[in-house]
Amino acid sequence: MELAVSTKQRVRGLSDRDSLSADAGMLFVLPKPEVVGFVMRRCRFPIDIVFLDPDGRIVAMHEMVLDPR
């Protein structure tokens, strides 16, 4: 699991990668609980996004697909 802790790491996310192994992921660590949105900027493969509350409980999950354009 990769950590995206800094603003720069969170903005870059998984951009410009060709793939991600099935057992890999990226955890976006925010400084405080807040409502956020995610975009798949230059992401070349579909991803699943899971939102956790401060106690680590799953509160939402979304399957993100590639834009066909």
Closest CA to 19 of 69, 67, 66: 66
Question: What pLDDT does residue 9 have?
Answer: 95
The tens place of each residue's pLDDT in the chain, 69 residues long, gives 999 999 999 999 999 999 999 999 999 999 888 888 888 889 999 999 999 988 999 999 999 988 777
CA torsion through residues 2, 49, 11, 43, sign: positive
Question: What pLDDT does residue 19 have?
Answer: 92
Question: What pLDDT does residue 29 have?
Answer: 92
Question: What pLDDT does residue 15 have?
Answer: 94
What are the extents of the domains in the chain?
2-64
